[in-house]
Chains A and B, each alone.
Chain A
Amino acid sequence: MILLVHTAVRPPGPTWAVNALQVTLLVLVAAGAAAVVTMRDPVRQAVILSLYGVVLAVLFFSVQAPDVALSEITVGTVALPLLILLTLAKVRGGQD
């Protein structure tokens, strides 16, 4: 029965190709990743990381993965930069 379902629902042939929006977003993601890595100041790095998360989320959305996009926004744009900023504040608080 399962094999029947399998053959019944599989779309025929190759599905789709990359469109212009996705190419643009892929380039932006590559540029954003480079920006995150090359930024030396950790505070600015955290903010750029947050923006990079937004671009990545839009890319996921453009390839029809809204769930992954949402997870990327919550983890990459909110949670991770927030934890980094809080940790930096804690570390620097001791030095001042």
Chain B
Amino acid sequence: MMAPKHYRDVYLREETYQKLLQLKAVMGKRSVNDVVEELLKCVTVNTVSSPVNTVSFTVSTVKPTVSTGDSPVSTVSPTVNTVKHGEDPDSNELVKRLESLEKSVAELREAVSALEKGLKDFTKKQQDLLNAYTSKTDQVLQRLSQVVELLQQVAESLRQGSEKVSEERQRVSEESVKKARREKVDACERLKRELAIFESDIADRIRDRDRFFAKIENVCGGIVVEGLKERVAIEKSFWQQFLEKLSKIDTSDDEKIKKSLDSLEYKLFKTLKESALIIFDATAKKWIFVEKQKTGTSSGTDAGTALPSTSTTNSAVGGATATGSGTSSSTKASASQRKKHYKKRYGEEDESWLLQYVDNVA
């Protein structure tokens, strides 16, 4: 049997050949040569330092040699090992070195495991810390969002409030304008309707009464008489009528006066009388209106003050002067003196006292 080119002959025993065939089957190789090559690859001879039968092999790597599935060596992984045969001192030293290496490896593994454990603990602690801060941050964010919501609500309510306030202001201004118009109209209409408005009657309804009376005087053309306790707004024609009626009354008896006047006129009469704005001239038996009214419209008021009573009084006084004896001049002089005296005593403004006195003297 001739060997092919580049092939050499090797004689084996039957049992060795059988083992090779088994390995060939296990490894899935095509030929026996491949099996031998694989064996040589796996088992590299490192040292041969001993005599016969004392051989030591150091295997660097053992790779999986079989690619088929059911092989028992299919899961072989690379390891470092020493196979000892016999009692070689070098191999003993190697064994010792390997043992020390193994020990150091074991120590290293322990250190690594300890490090891993420490790392785990550290990670856990860090995670716990992070969780705590995360929860706090969440709380803070939640509160912040609540605060933002509250601020938005406050801003909204403020906006609504300002809108309401502006609306209210506008409404109030409109109302005040309307009220002013109404008041303006109402004051005149009321005066026309009621003819005489007493301050005591409107005190609880109208706050700014000065304005009211000023309006009556300036706008409505009414007459305002300032009494002792209160002011009275009087319609002009009614006032003329009242004065005419008053001039016709020749008694100071209240009952008779009450009968001759209606209730409003009598009320006005009483007010004027209490305020000493009308005085009964006992001599002339007439009521005199004392000019102390506060009038804005001069012409109307002047016309009002040019009373029959006043003129009557003047005429009476004048008459007395004309028909009087020589004592009239002395009486006049003494009257003027007294007038001065009382002006000094009671002041310039208190005309009523003076006139009353003068009239009484006359």
Indicate whether A and B interact. no
State the B residues within 8 Å of A (CB). Answer: none
